[in-house]
Structure 1
């Protein structure tokens, strides 16, 4: 069995990390991951509109609701990364489903509406204008 030498003059095969090198590399890795995530969410995810069709059976609901369609839309986060084009695409997809009811589940804008209410409401107007194009047989309902 070989015994490791304590002689400093012999070359060592494993690289030594000091605290500064570790922190520098960890910061670089963390920064790269954060930029990658921001790029993905800002450039790719905003164009990924997910349409899922689910059949939900409710016992004793009544035959009047057989085939009843509800379209759910949420988390637009209108702002710098999600604009009118992306929201309009979601509206078109929802309308194409010809739903009986549309439910809007919140998170419409990225900007907080607290503080100056008038300023916050102004920021939400373009989003509201696009959402006004939603069409369903019985109307649209929103959680603000």
Structure 2
């Protein structure tokens, strides 16, 4: 009896929109690994920019900082988080003060922190996968 071949495709976390990732990168896993690496290298600074804008109460800076991190979420396959960032940007545009955004802001910050952990985990898994696939 023949053994089934192991899956040749990397299986992303269910929290990641893998269809969207494949639409961007096909199955270029080394490139996806590179995108994740770049995203992680900027993540802390981008998140800190959002926190600083919040603490200063500057809605325009808050909108700008959120706008900056938004595409990274899409590039990492976190399309729902990308949309959450877009919605928060819209709220910043419409709000008269940060006080009106408190609950939404805290949800976004929590979600972004969780996203970093997910991207980091997937990055490590991708590195191992690429190492095993490219250098058997």
Q: Sort the TM-score into its range (normalised by shorter chain).
A: under 0.3
What TM-score comes out, normalization by structure 1 length? Answer: 0.23
Quick one: higher RCO (CA 8 Å, sep 6+), 1 or 2? 2
Identify the structure with the greater strand proportion.
Answer: 1
What TM-score comes out, normalization by structure 2 length? Answer: 0.24
Identify the structure with the greater helix proportion.
Answer: 2
